[in-house]
Structure 1
Amino acid sequence: MTATPAARLFFAPTPRSTRLGVLLACTLLSLATACSRVPELEDRLPADLRSQPYPDLLPLETALSDEPLPEDESAALSEALDARAEGLRRRAEELRRRQF
């Protein structure tokens, strides 16, 4: 089985120094971009807040409140509104039957 010239070129063994050079270039490029200043983000902070310390970090358990889930709240609200609407319908029907 003979390989095509493109396959032979693509799968040809590369010297160790070439692979090391590519790895070094990628590392240096990533380090250079990590140290760059991003003015679009840094300039958004007002001058009076720049000198303030960062706020303390809270554990997730204390940061989240123990409020019920929105699905539970909406179900309870829906049931309460349905019961109130049914009560108002019954009252309206009683008033219609009285016929002043």
Structure 2
Amino acid sequence: MHKSTSSKRKSFRLYAIVSTALVGVGAAAALAAGITPATASSLAQNADTQVAVFMIPLTLLVLALLFEVTRTAMRGTLPVDSKPRRPSRLNWTPGNGEG
């Protein structure tokens, strides 16, 4: 019988569960430490903090993009998943003898 879930899909599920748990633990720790959105907004009055809040995620995004491009380039040629599509007939009319 054919397995419907690949091992890569299962490992992604594990990463999703672990990352969700880490976010939950981080949120619980922040609330336990007394950090709420109201108190966090007072920290963001400083210009340096505002720049860091914007630049850190942006830098991580660019680094992730560079990592993926490098990983794809180092892999070699791109795999061919399917055959090219056959061109469709534009002058088709019902009853022209092909069925």
After TM superposition, the score normalised by the length of structure 2 is 0.32
Q: Which has the higher contact order (CA 8 A, sep 6+)?
A: 2
Bigger Rg, structure 1 or 2: 1
After TM superposition, the score normalised by the length of structure 1 is 0.32
